Amino acid sequence: MTLKSKWIVGFTGYMVALCSLFGCASDQLSEEKLPPNVLFIAIDDLNDWVGVLGGHPQIQTPNIDRLAARGVLFANAHTQAPLCNPSRASILTGYRPSTTGIYNLAPHFRDVDLTRDAVTLPQYFQQHGYRTLSNGKIFHTLGNTEEKRADFEEWGPIGGGTAGHPAQKIVPNTHMGNHPLIDWGVYPAVGDSVRNDYKVATWAEEKLEQLANSQEGKPFFMAVGFWLPHVPLFATQKWFDLYPEEAGIQLPPAPDDEREDVPDFSWYLHWYLPEVRLSWLKENNQWENFVRAYMATISFTDAQVGRVLDALEKQGLSDNTIVVLWSDHGFHLGEKGITGKNTLWERSTHVPLIFAGPDIPQGKVVSRPAELLDIYPTLVEWAGLSAKEGLEGLSLAPQLRDSNASRERPAITTHNPGNNSVRSERWRYIRYADGSEELYDHAQDPHEHLNLALDPAYGEVKNALAGWLKEQDAPHAPGSQHRTLENINGVWHWEGSPINWDDWIK
């Protein structure tokens, strides 16, 4: 007996008993809905370079695009933090970084008082009768104790990563410490089956078949996390062949002077990182190679998403499964002179967010701002669970029902205390911890090249957006480290060391 039929038998028997006591319309049983499953697809470091978002004109993402075609695309969705750990902790606990103090790659959220006992999104579904299982990168780390691994009933064998590097770096001697992850190019393997993301998709295929034929009679919450296009940007030759060198790769807009009207403090948010600067890419003739590798890894990941979606359909589960696909944050490929994340600009905050499944309209696009923080309350409401108290996100159910429905607030991104971005349907406002500001009009300037913050004509717009920010963000949680920015006795420190402009790498 399949999972669906098991639910039908149990639910029908329950309704028959009720009808025998109280009477029912003859067609009532057929109208009752079964609890929906949830397929939760996470992608790491994927910016808006997917076909349906139009972030890059040459990108090929047919599977993400077809998911959007059968659901609702939130085309103005933004992360709460431009870094893996705080973003994922926010999504899965339902709290902002500015509330928890989790801004950096450490600590684990179970080591922070406010979130130590938080009921995470999968736990909440488990409490409501769901079987929960996960594989790949969902949380930033799996956690090093059983108490920290209480979020899923079943954990797959892969927690993230790429499953190995070539014997030698393809791109040697990068200038920001030559970190082993900062590498890109064709992975020396004939097939994709050696890559971890391929294995995660295979696990999902197998589990969906098992779930479809389960005798357990429970709906499921399955989380599937893909590492790429996180660095290192390795993919096998077939994915690079989608973007042949002779055809030319369109490079992102990155004029040499685009930071001339940007506050110097903006450099503090990515003062010294493994990720290379655009200046290095140009000097070493690697900019096009880097962009091509990012695009190849996106298309590889898209293919793995397609395998999971195909398995869902093959097993007859599509009609009763809510699918949500998201990326934890964006990624720069030369814009503003840098690569990587760790900024409050569009390229770092703007991410894909798609919902599809039962009763969700098909082929709709929402231009209202959305936050990844909204995923938790949205899934809870759409699955018909009781509301979870204390969540800081807003349910996107109104926009799922009507793509033109209003939204009461913009999207806010935070990177270390006091550094915040506010994104509305038209504007982006940034305020840094030293009080310096940026303002961009996306109706006229989608690439954020002209900072309007000092123009008094925009004072009213700026003040209205600033009104959404907290008076004070939570301080760094104890144990915070890696990409920390702190003011210690009046001196700004990056990862514990004073910032010295003589060490500036532009």
Report d(CA 230, CA 386) in Å as an integer.
36
The answer for residues whose C-beta is within 8 angstroms of residue 14's C-beta and 6 or more apart is none
- What length is written for the chain? 506
Q: What is the pLDDT of residues 491-504, one digit of tens each?
A: 999 999 999 999 99
DSSP 182-213: S-EEE-S-SSSTTSHHHHHHHHHHHHHHHHHT
CA–CA distance, 41 with 305 (Å, rounded to integer): 8
What does the alpha-carbon distance between residue 7 and residue 34 come to, in Å, rounded to a whole number?
7
* Side chain identity at residue 151, one-letter code: D
Residues 448-461, buried b or exposed e (16+ Cβ, 10 A)? bbebbbeeeebeeb
Q: How far is the first Cα of the chain from the last one, in angstroms, to the nearest whole number?
A: 62
Closest by Cα among 225, 219, 68, 208 to 135 = 225
- Spell out the residues 6+ positions from residue 127 whose beta carbon is closer than 8 angstroms to its own: 119
Q: Of the residues 84, 230, 329, 350, which is catalytic?
A: 84
In contact, 415 and 83? CB cutoff 8 Å: yes
pTM: 0.93
Establish whether 140 is a catalytic residue.
yes
C-alpha 38/C-alpha 23 separation (Å) is 33
Q: Which of 287, 306, 328, 344 is nearest to 485 (CA)?
A: 344
Using CA atoms, how far residue 50 sits from 58, 90, 299, 384, in Å, is 9, 24, 9, 31
Q: Is 413 helix (H, G, I), strand (E, B) or coil?
A: strand
Beta carbons of 64 and 50 less than 8 angstroms apart: yes
Burial class of residue 249, CB neighbours in 10 A (0-12, 13-18, 19+): middle
CA distance 133 to 207: 9
Contact criterion met (CB below 8 Å) for 457 and 463: no
Q: Which domains does the chain have, with CATH numbers?
A: 35-154+169-392 (3.40.720.10)
50-69 pLDDT tens trace: 999 999 999 999 999 999 99
User: What are φ and ψ of residue 222, in 5° steps?
Assistant: -110, 125
Quickly tell me which residue has 């490929």 as its tokens.
333
Whether the pLDDT of residue 19 is over 60: the answer is no
Q: What is the pLDDT of residues 141-197, one digit of tens each?
A: 876 677 778 899 999 998 878 888 898 999 989 999 999 999 999 999 889 999 999
Predicted confidence (pLDDT) at residue 11 exceeds the cutoff of 70: no
Q: Which of 140, 329, 350, 415 is catalytic?
A: 140
Total H helices, total E strands in the chain: 14, 22
Alpha carbon distance 19, 382 (integer Å): 27
* Average pLDDT estimate for 391-406: 98
Extract the tokens encoding 96. Answer: 């902002």
Taking only the tens place, the pLDDT of each residue in 452-486 is: 999 999 999 999 999 999 999 999 999 999 999 99
Q: Are 294 and 229 in contact (CB under 8 A)?
A: yes
Does 84 qualify as catalytic in the annotation?
yes
Per-residue confidence (pLDDT) for residue 2, from 0 to 100: 43
pLDDT tens column, 240-286: 999 999 989 999 999 999 999 999 999 999 999 999 999 999 999 99
Task: Say if residues 100 and 112 touch (Cβ distance below 8 Å).
Answer: yes
Using CA atoms, how far apart are residues 409 and 424, in angstroms rounded to an integer? Answer: 8
pLDDT at 15: 40
Q: How far apart are CA 286 and CA 185, in angstroms?
A: 11
User: What is the rounded distance in angstroms from the CA atom of residue 233 to the CA atom of residue 228?
Assistant: 7
Q: Is the pLDDT of residue 9 over 80?
A: no
**24/495 Cα distance (integer angstroms):** 66
Cβ neighbors of 63 (< 8 A, separation 6 or more) are 302, 303, 305, 306, 309
